[in-house]
Structure 1
Amino acid sequence: MPTHTILQISDLHLLPHAGETMLGIDTEYYFHRVLDHAFAANPKIELILVTGDLTQDPYLDCYQRIEQKLQTYGIRCICLPGNHDDDALMQSALNVGRVSCNKQTFIGDWQIIALNSRIPGKPGGRLAKQELDFLEDCLRAYPDRHALIAVHHPCLTIASPWLDAMMIENSNEFLAVLHRYPKVEAVTCGHIHQVVDKQVESLRIFSAPSTCFQFEPKSLEFSVVDTAPGYRMIRLQRDGGLETAVYRLPEALSGLRPKADPY
C-alpha cells in the first residue's frame, strides 16, 4: 500500500550565533547532525514537520539559518511555533521556497493541520478559539481525508509535574473537537524533549524527541539527560493507517553541563 513518509523534528533551540552553546550543547551542530542522519537513513522523506521551539531566543538570523538548511533537501517543510518562538519573525523568514508556516497541508489522502498553542510571554500552552475554529473548519471541509494534527505543547500529562504544568490548558476542549471527527488519526507534539506514545480511544498521541538535549522522564523538576538527540519518522498509509518510530544519533550527546546555565 502506498505510504507517505514524514520526518518530524522538534525543539531545536538555536541560539543567536552559530557555535554558541546552551547547557554545554552546540544546538545548531546537533540540528544539522539529526537532519543529515535522518535523510541518510530515509531517502524517501516527502515532508519535514518542525513542531516548535526552533530558537531559544527568537532572532531573525536564527530563523534564516534554519530556513537555509531546510531548503537544501528540496522538499516541503512545515514549521509551527513553540513557546520560545516569535510568530512574526517565523512568518517573515520561514515562508520561502519549499519552507513554509502553512497551517493546512495535503499529502496523499491526508491533511496535516498545524496549530499554534503559544501563549505569548508564557511557557505553557493554550489553543485560542480561532485555532479551534480553524481546526474544525479544516476537518469539516475535508471529511474524507485522514488527519494528522501537529501542535507544540502536549495535550496529555506525562507524569512529570513541571512539564505537566505547561500542557495545553484547554486540552479537554481540543480533544472533544478531535473525537467528533472519525478521520482524525493522530496528534503529534514537541515541547517535552522526550518520547511519549499513547492511545486515547481512537486517537494515537505521540511526541518527538529534541534535536539537542532531552528532559529526564518523570522528573519532578527541570532535569536533563545525555540521551542522544533524535527524530520521529511518520508513515501515513492510504487507508488511514499510521506507522511511526523514533530514531536517534548513534553517539551520546557530548558536552552536556546540566547546571551550566538556566534553560
Structure 2
Amino acid sequence: MLIVQLSDPHIRPAGTLYQGRVDSNAMFRAALEQLNQLHPQPDLVIISGDLVDEGSPAEYAMARELLSEIRQPLLLIPGNHDEREAFRHAFADHDYLPASGPLHFVAAGHGPLRVIGLDVTLPGEHHGDMSEAAVAWLEQALAQEPQRPTLIMLHQPPFDSGIAYIDLYKCRNGHRLAEVVSRYPAVERVVCGHIHRAMQLRFGGTLLCTAPSTTTAIALRLDPNAEEASYLEPPAMLLHHWRAETGLITHWLPIGAFTGPLPFA
C-alpha cells in the first residue's frame, strides 16, 4: 500500500501570494503534477493540515479547484491556519469527516493500513492540545481493531523540535498521545505537518515523522534566541510504503525537475 503525504500548502485565493512573496498555489500544483507522474500510483493521498492560509471561503474554493487534480482517495485534517467550520463546509462531501466537533476520523477502507486523523487544533490558537477528550476518542478508535497496522495523522507535532520559535506552537500534552500509542504496537507511524520540515524521532514506542511543506521551509535554527525565518528550500512530500513483510517504510521525495535518470545505481 502506497500513501503520499502532502502538508502545509497554505493555498491562497487565485492571484494572491503567500506572505506576499511566494506563489504557494503554483508550488502545490507542481506537487500534484509530480504526484500524478508517480509509478506505481499511490493508493491514497493524505494532507496533514494548513491546507489554506487564512481559512477564507475564497481559499477553500481555490483548494477544491487544485485538489480536483488528485485521482486517489483523499483524507484531510485541518491545521492552525485552517478555520474548522469553513473546512468542514468546504469538504462536506468527505463523508469520513464528522458533522460537528473536532474533525477526528478513522479511515479503514482504503487498504491494509488504517489511517486515523486526529484533530488537535484549537480554534483561534496556533498551538494544539492533546486534550483528555482527544485521548478518550483515540483510545476508543484504536481499540476497535487493536492489531491492525495503523498510521495516525495530526497537524502540530507533539514534541519540542529544538526550533524555539515554532515549538511555541506545538501540540501540548504530547505525553498523553505517547502513552496511548505505547499501548498499541500496531501503530506503525505517527505523522505530522506544521513544522515545514522533515524530522523523525522515536515516540510512544513507534516512529514519528513530520512532513516538509510544499511551499516554504521553516529555518532550521537551533539557537534558542534565534529569530524566526523561512527559506525557499526544495519542497517535498513523504511517500509511505506499507508491506506486510517489512511494515511501513517512509521516503522523503523532493518536488522538482532534477538531472537524470542516469544509467547507473
- Give the fraction of aligned pairs with identical amino acids, expressed as a percent: 25
Alignment counterpart, residue 54 of structure 1, candidates 51, 54, 59: 51
1:38-72 residue CA offsets vs partner (Å, 9 max, x unmatched): 22134421111010011111112322322233233
Equivalent position of 1:103 in the other structure: 105
Return 5+ residue gaps in structure 2 as ranges: 98-102, 259-265
Q: Does 1:21 align with 2:17?
A: yes
Specify whether residues 125 and 42 from structure 1 end up closer, same or farther in structure 2 by C-alpha distance, changes over 3 A only. farther
Q: Does 1:221 align with 2:224?
A: no
Give the counterpart letter for 1:18 in structure 2. Answer: A
Shift of 1:18: 1.0
Return 5+ residue gaps in structure 1 as ranges: 253-263
Moved over 3 A (4+): 97-102
Specify whether residues 98 and 66 from structure 1 end up closer, same or farther in structure 2 by C-alpha distance, changes over 3 A only. farther
Specify whether residues 201 and 139 from structure 1 end up closer, same or farther in structure 2 by C-alpha distance, changes over 3 A only. closer
User: Structure 2 matches for 1:67-106, cutoff 5 A?
Assistant: 67-96=64-93, 103-106=105-108
Alignment counterpart, residue 191 of structure 2, candidates 188, 192, 196: 188
Distance 1:240 1:95 in 2: 36
Further displaced range: 141-150 or 196-205:
196-205
Larger relative contact order (C-alpha < 8 A, sep ≥ 6)? 1
Q: Is the 8 A contact 1:144 1:183 kept in 2?
A: yes
User: Structure 2 matches for 1:1-263, cutoff 5 A?
Assistant: 4-15=1-12, 17-23=13-19, 24-96=21-93, 103-106=105-108, 107-200=110-203, 202-219=205-222, 220-239=226-245, 241-250=247-256
1:211-241 residue CA offsets vs partner (Å, 9 max, x unmatched): 1111111343311112111111111223571
Distance 1:123 1:155 in 2: 13
Q: Normalising by structure 2, what TM-score? A: 0.87
Q: Is the 8 A contact 2:84 2:123 kept in 1?
A: no
Q: Is the 8 A contact 1:64 1:94 kept in 2?
A: no
1:168-187 residue CA offsets vs partner (Å, 9 max, x unmatched): 11101111011011111210
CA RMSD after TM alignment: 2.1
Distance 1:99 1:69 in 2: 20
